[in-house]
Amino acid sequence: MLHIVNKSPLDRPSLDTCLATAQPGGALLLIEDGVYAATTGNSAAGKLTQAMGQLKVYALKADLEARGMADRVLEGVNLVDYGGFVDLVTEHSTCQSWL
C-alpha cells in the first residue's frame, strides 16, 4: 500500500496515525506540507527514520524546494518528481491519503 501524507507533522497527527497503522513493506509518500517530516531538525525526524526500517519513504522534491527545505532532507528519504509520484501510484494496488 502507498500511504500519502500531505499535512505537516507539527499541524496534524496524520503522520503519526499513518505510521501506527502502516504494514511493513509498504511505502510512504510525503507531499505538500507533509514534506516537513522528511527534513532534519524536526520533531518527526526520529519517527520517520525509525519507520524507514519497515517502509520505503519518498518525498516530492518540488514541494521540498517550494518550502526551501531541499538541502535538509533526511538520509534514506527518496526524492521523486511528479512523474515519480505517478509511478508510485501505479506501482501500488491501493493508496491511502491521510488528511
Express each pLDDT in 38-47 by its tens digit. Answer: 999 999 999 9
d(CA 14, CA 12) in angstroms, rounded, equals: 6
Residues found in the chain: 99
Q: Give the number of domains in the chain.
A: 1
Give CA angle at 68 (58, 55), nearest 5°. 15
Task: Tell me the β-bridge partners of 97.
Answer: 4
pLDDT in tens, 45-87: 999 999 999 999 999 999 999 999 999 999 999 999 999 999 9
* pLDDT at 99 exceeding the cut of 90: no
Q: What is the 3-state secondary structure (H, E, C) of 8-46?
A: CCCCCCHHHHHHHHCCCCCEEEECHHHHHHHECCCCCHH
Task: Tell me the β-bridge partners of 30.
Answer: 5, 59
Q: Contact 5/28 with Cβ under 8 angstroms?
A: yes
Q: What pLDDT score was predicted for residue 51? A: 95
Residues of the domain holding 8: 2-98
CATH of the domain at 69: 3.40.1260.10
